[in-house]
Structure 1
Amino acid sequence: MPTRRQLAALAGAALLAGCGYLRTESDGRTITYWASNQGSSLEFDKQTLQPELDKFEQRTGIHVRFEVVPWSDLLNRLLAAATSGKGPDVVNIGNTWSASLQATNALVSFDDAAMARIGGRERFVPAALAAAGAPGKPPTAVPLYSLSYALYYNKQMFADAGVTRPPATWEDLVAVGKRLTKDRQWGLAIEGANPSENAHHAFTFSQQYGGEWFDDTGKPTFDTDANVRAIKRYVDLMAVDKIVNPSNAEYAKNESQSDFANRKAAMLLWQAAGSAFRAQGMSPEEYGVAPVPFLAQPPPGARRVNSMVAGINIAVFRRSQNLDGALQFVKFMTSDEEQVILNRTYGSLPSVQAAAADPAFQAPEQKVLADVLNATAAPLPQVPAESQFETLVGSAMKELFAAAANDKPVTEAIIRTRLRAAEQRMRG
């Protein structure tokens, strides 16, 4: 996520792109592609993608040189590419970065003409397309893999504790979590040291408390009463309710998925986790999937949101040496056929409506994720500073979890101070 230096790089990239620096002529033969790590390993992604890229080459004569880039490196490499004009033709981006990267002007704008070349705007799932750029502007990416958060729960652990249904409210989740926390087993697993994961939950809880992280002009509003209460509700799962293992304050690399799959935690909040569980030997019959809970008594102004619109978008750099081939590749990757193949493999949801109706996405997990995505999910703020919000607020929450893990108090006053400091850093 961007630091001040990186944000300066963003501005520089926008200037270079605006001057036409990033434009070059097409060579028509090869494109380069940075794929995001969607599966259980980089090697799994390579094995998944290579047959599809070979298929594209057979159909078009365009060879795809590709690399699977870890999420920990992807944004920094994108910023470097935007600044230098040297990078891939096509890239996957986290959809929460859409407006931040759009502001660089380094990506191709999917206006009406570009959308027509890839099959038309109406093909895409509306909720997924809403997270492709700032409102009122043509998006600079289109959805590729769609996701939403859900509550995963271990059926046998629930049965052993006499719990007959998944919790629908946070109050119920805490009560159930306390019944399930015993004998080196915890009620819930989280990723307390993962800034992006923290920021995603900060957004969702804030919506449920009637809060916003930015005002209508795009200025940060971090330390409001609603945001403070939202952060406290989430951190209190460890600090007060004691249903989260304090060691989770150090989790940042999917360790919570491993805890759930290995029966160390009975519940998990995650995006399309089924494929990760299978990779660790957990069968779909062992866990249930339900919507993320809501507040039992929401305050005035609360919104019925229980997930951010999660997912991965695909974008094209303006400086591509093969813009025509790059757009052909985007059309191929978002075709009905490829959307079924790839999303079925990764356990995510198709981003195009025709593919979403395929029988491959009618299993219980996918149906819950789709219902949430289409009915109760909302996109993170589509403002240029969104990625900095993830870093600053997510890192502040990391510090709060570290305090909770060491039995230090995490009061509203302390949370407000941390959020105020994050806002001041945002404002520069």
Structure 2
Amino acid sequence: MAKQEQRGWWSGQPAQLSRRQLLRRAAALGLSAPALSALLAACGGGSATPTSAPAAAPSPTAAATKASGAASPTAAATSQAAAATPTSAPAVLKGTKLSILQASYFVPAGQDLFKNQLQQWGKENNVEVSVDFVNWPDLQPKISAAVQAGAGPDIVHLWPTWPSLYANSLVDVHDFADKLGKSQGGYFDWVLKSASVDGRWLSVPIGTSTSAQVYRISLFKQAGIDDPVNNFPDTWEDLFKVGKKLKAMGKPLGQAFGHSPGDPPSFCYPFMWAYGAMEVKEDGKTVAFNVPQFVDGMKLLIQAWKDAFDESGLSWDDSTNNRAFLAGQISWTFNGSSIYLAALKDNPSLAQDINHWIYPKGPAGRFNNLGSQSMGIMKYSKNIEGAKAFLEWWMQPEQFRAWLAAQQGYNLAPTPLYINDPYYTSDPKLKAYAEVGKYGRNLGYAGWGNQKAAEVSARYIVIDTFARAIQSGDAASAIKWGADQLQRIYGQ
């Protein structure tokens, strides 16, 4: 058992940070060197590296504006970020159309607000706008079909690494996205490595939803954990031991291993890394998947699947665990904050019994799958100027902060401008989500989230390795199969 950190890197801090505080916070966030330099320059702390820093950035400690119901002590920083963003829509937009394809939201308020913001922009610029929200597993097939047809939505919602997958079909937005990031303290390293294409922006990063352990306090107490709020199982092995007791109580652990882009990768990649394996080494060529430690870890999981998990999870998608948890069928799962937020609205007594915890650790450490989603403009669009104008408007802090606030911290911002906003810091039950930056790794680690990593993700190779192992009971053969598939991609 381990005691969780009492203050996360989004916990409330004074508006003015010392150089030491910034260095500590930047390390926790996984900031790239240019981003760290920008932060230090912004507070007069000098450069973190001998390389040239981007233009002076605002303090990353901005509190929420009217969108979140609080006054901002750093209005100047927000104004600076807004000033760095082009805002004027071209006159030629009048009478044009703009369509957007997005994945559906697990926090409905965020989806409603986005739709309202789009309609507001359309009305102000005399543009006919529309947005289509689709289930997560349906997003990539729809984008691929549009690319094949050369027609479809003007703006598409992209998952981590997808910009590399669709690079030939996306409009270059590097100048705007680069300027935006620099004005807000620099993009986090996990954003750069998962959403850019060889360091160039073909889409605008919007951050990502992230995962933590979601669990029922009372049920873990019944399973023998004296104080699950402050002292939770710290390792995968300890979690599985408690899970065995929970399943015996009729309240198993719940995890999806189907073909969906949210929950399965959120489990499989961190587990793989925790047991010493990775897709490829830093050279981007050497596959490091089939290692003895990972085989041992997979054997542990195979047994735990029988002892501790709801075994129907092999066919679950990203919403099944939400429904199962809220219905009281499972006691634990990996998820964003959406389960808790739904309970706060519809079942407050259940919400009181819910808590969250950071990822378990394994022999190789504690890790989280972290990569940025983004919004890309398609080259086939007949309204590229309109698409650019909307994204430039929507990414201004006034609009983007409201969107973050509506989701109550479910979406992790791509820059440090928003890290002290109250939707990240006000509820202690959500502090685990503010710890993920310490442990983030991108798809394709130790390489970049490039086109090869995108292909691995799109083909669900890592997830299918787990599913094969669980179904067959043969860890070694399943991992060998996965390694062979990876070699075919990375060895090209």
Q: Shorter chain as normaliser: what TM range? A: 0.7 to 0.9
Task: State the TM-score, normalizing by the size of structure 2.
Answer: 0.69
1:16 paired residue number? none
1:221-273 per-residue CA deviation (whole Å, 9 max, x = no partner) reads 5434344345444444304xx11122223322422222222222221112333
Which residue in the other structure is 2:416 paired with?
A: 353
Whichever residue aligns with residue 342 of structure 1, its letter is: W
Deviation at residue 219 of structure 1 after TM alignment: 6.1
Return the match for 1:38 from 91, 97, 105. 105
Deviations 1:352-385 (A, max 9, x none): 433332212212354321221x211111111212
CA–CA separation in structure 2 for the residues paired with 1:425 and 1:92 = 28
Secondary structure of 1:138's counterpart equals coil
Local SS of the residue matching 1:73: helix
1:204 aligns with 2:273: no
Closer, same or farther in 2 for the Cα pair 1:170/1:113, shift >3 Å? closer
State the one-letter code of the partner of 2:129.
V
Residue 261 in structure 1 maps to residue 326 in structure 2:
yes
Q: Conserved in 2, the CA contact under 8 Å of 1:148 and 1:370?
A: no
Answer yes or no: is the 8 Å Cα contact 1:198–1:397 preserved in 2: no
| Structure-2 residue corresponding to 1:158 | 220
The one of 294, 300, 310 equivalent to 1:245 is 310
Question: How big is each residue's C-alpha offset from its partner over 1:376-399, in whole Å with a ceiling of 9 and x where there is no partner?
Answer: 111111121224323223223223
Percent identity (aligned): 18
Per-residue deviation, 1:27: 5.6
- In the aligned structure 1, how far is the partner of 2:124 from the partner of 2:301? 49
2:251 paired with 1:189: no
Report 1:389-404 matches (<5 A): 389-390=456-457, 391-403=460-472
Residue type at the aligned position of 2:383: N
Instruction: Describe the shift of the 1:84–1:193 C-alpha distance in structure 2 as closer, same or farther (beyond 3 A).
Output: closer
Inter-partner Cα distance in structure 1 for 2:470 and 2:92? 51
CA distance in 2, matches of 1:122, 1:421: 42
Q: Which residue is equivalent to 1:339? A: 400
- Partner of 2:381, secondary structure, is coil
Q: 2:482 aligns with which of 386, 395, 419?
A: 419
> Is this contact kept in 1: 2:195–2:372, CA < 8 A?
no
Assess if the C-alpha contact under 8 Å between 1:151 and 1:269 holds in 2.
yes
- Secondary structure, counterpart of 1:331 in structure 2: helix
Cα distance between partner residues in 2 of 1:85 and 1:120:
33
Pairwise CA RMSD: 3.0
Residues 82, 226 of structure 1: CA spacing in aligned structure 2 closer, same or farther, 3 A cutoff?
farther
Q: How many residues were matched structurally?
A: 383
Aligned residues of 1:170 and 1:294 also touching (Cα < 8 A)? yes
1:27, 1:87 → 2: CA distance? 21
Q: Deviations over 1:58-78 (max 9, x none)?
A: 444433221112222211221
Higher mean alpha-carbon deviation, 207-216 vs 277-286, is at 277-286
Whether the aligned pair in 2 keeps the contact of 1:27 and 1:321 (CA below 8 Å) is: no
Q: Quick one: distance in 2 between partners of 1:279 and 1:345?
A: 14
Residues 402 and 416 of structure 1, relative CA distance in 2, 3 Å threshold: closer
1:66 aligns with 2:131: yes
Cα distance in 1 for residues equivalent to 2:246 and 2:400: 38
Question: Do the aligned residues in 1 keep the contact of 2:202 with 2:376 (CA within 8 Å)?
Answer: yes
Residue 379 (structure 1) aligns with:
442
TM-score with structure 1 setting the length: 0.78
Q: Which runs of 5+ in 1 are unaligned?
A: 1-24, 404-409
| Higher mean C-alpha displacement, 60-69 vs 70-79 | 60-69
Question: What is the aligned partner in structure 1 of residue 210 from structure 2?
Answer: 148
Q: Match for residue 118 of structure 2?
A: 53
SS class of match (1:213): strand
1:236–1:313 Cα change, 3 Å: farther
- CA deviations 1:52-98 (Å, max 9, x no partner) are 11222244443322111222221122122223321222111112423
